[in-house]
Amino acid sequence: MSRSSCRVRRGFTLVELLVVIAIIGVLVALLLPALSSARSAANASGSASNMSGFGRGFELYANANNGTYSSGAYDHCRDGDVRTYGWVADLITQKVSQPGKALDQGSRNKISATTASYMGVSDSDTTANFQSGIDAGRWESADTFANKSGETAFGGDAKAKEVWDQGYNTNYATTWHFSRGDPTASAGYDPGTKSLTNGDGPLTQNHLAQGNTTAARVALMGPARAAATPVLAADATTMVNFVGSPVVKANDLLTQSFTGGMTVTGTVTGDTTAGVKIHEFSAIEPLHQPKTAGGGGGHAPVLFADLHVEKVQDTVTSGATEVKNKGDGYLGNAADGSIGALGYQEVADQMWTRRLRTAQTGSFE
């Protein structure tokens, strides 16, 4: 064999290998942001598709229920047994969707606090939270607070898994308008509780027909913000027991069910009256494609009452010192409830923040 042929088959030198590795590293560095952006865009698109499907179900429900778009929030404490009441049950009963299998994949938090508490995984609710559901007759008369939150009384692992498999879960949060309609308080707004009796809803076709705005501005739902308190280790173990796989882990967060009412005192364009209240949307998180390391500057795909889905951008840091074009991870009001003119405009440009119908007392609007 000639020397020349031996040289042809020689291996790579160390320098050549290092050059190839360096080139691959540069290519990976260039491609990763693009892949991440593409994945984020796909998640947002999937989320919008999920909510569009939900919206069609709400329309079907309204056509069969005198124009009411749902039977309430996904909240067993206040709205009753989730197998019978709330928008999740409505969609499952109509065989339109299984919300527990149509989740916002952009969120790392996939389990609703309602799901965990209802099935006995989390036991943080109070008797007072259950009161409105009990008073409305939305639980069987034999039920008491103790066995509504207890896994054993609920039916044990087998029953919990059956409900889970049927899709009773979500990581979307509905708005006060969708879940409660207009506040019933005489001052024209509600100071903050989420009870059934604090609203004249759920949302109906009459709310929209008689409203001060169009259906295209009445927000119904979006990706849910996680509650501040993580799941405890023991709770996570219980969740794994009935599902059979680790869908939630110790120290994971559980998502909220629906936003509060007209709790935010804001600087409203053209109205500087002290004490003016607007709706808060902090339970909806603009988690898609954030522009800052802190999670700000992203957007939330939001379903509106005319059934279109639109990106609502997080463009303002709220609070005492507002900054435009730098999001804070919230829509409108900041975590502490504070909001200024810019923060108000952030949501008011796209979502209706006031009463749907003028208060009959004449003391508001």
pLDDT tens track, the chain, 365 positions: 455 555 555 667 877 788 888 888 888 877 767 666 677 788 889 999 999 999 999 999 999 999 999 999 999 888 988 889 999 999 999 999 999 999 999 998 999 988 887 776 665 555 556 667 777 888 765 555 444 444 444 556 677 788 889 999 999 999 999 999 998 876 667 666 788 888 998 999 999 999 889 999 999 999 999 987 777 666 677 677 777 776 777 778 899 999 988 888 766 554 545 566 888 899 999 999 888 877 888 999 999 999 999 999 999 987 667 888 889 999 988 777 778 888 888 898 899 998 898 876 544 33
Structural domains in the chain (count): 1
The residue range of the domain holding 183 is: 14-348
Torsion angle (degrees, nearest 10) of CA 247, 249, 253, 256: 30
Please check whether residue 5 lies inside any domain of the structure: no
Gyration radius of the chain's alpha carbons: 24
First to last CA, the chain: 97
Is residue 257 a contact partner of residue 73, using CB atoms and an 8 Å limit? yes
Please check whether residue 354 lies inside any domain of the structure: no
Please check whether residue 363 lies inside any domain of the structure: no
pTM equals: 0.85
Please check whether residue 356 lies inside any domain of the structure: no
- Residue 311 has, within 13 A of its CA and on its CB side, a CA count of 15
Please check whether residue 9 lies inside any domain of the structure: no
The pLDDT assigned to 77 comes to 82
The pLDDT assigned to 35 comes to 63
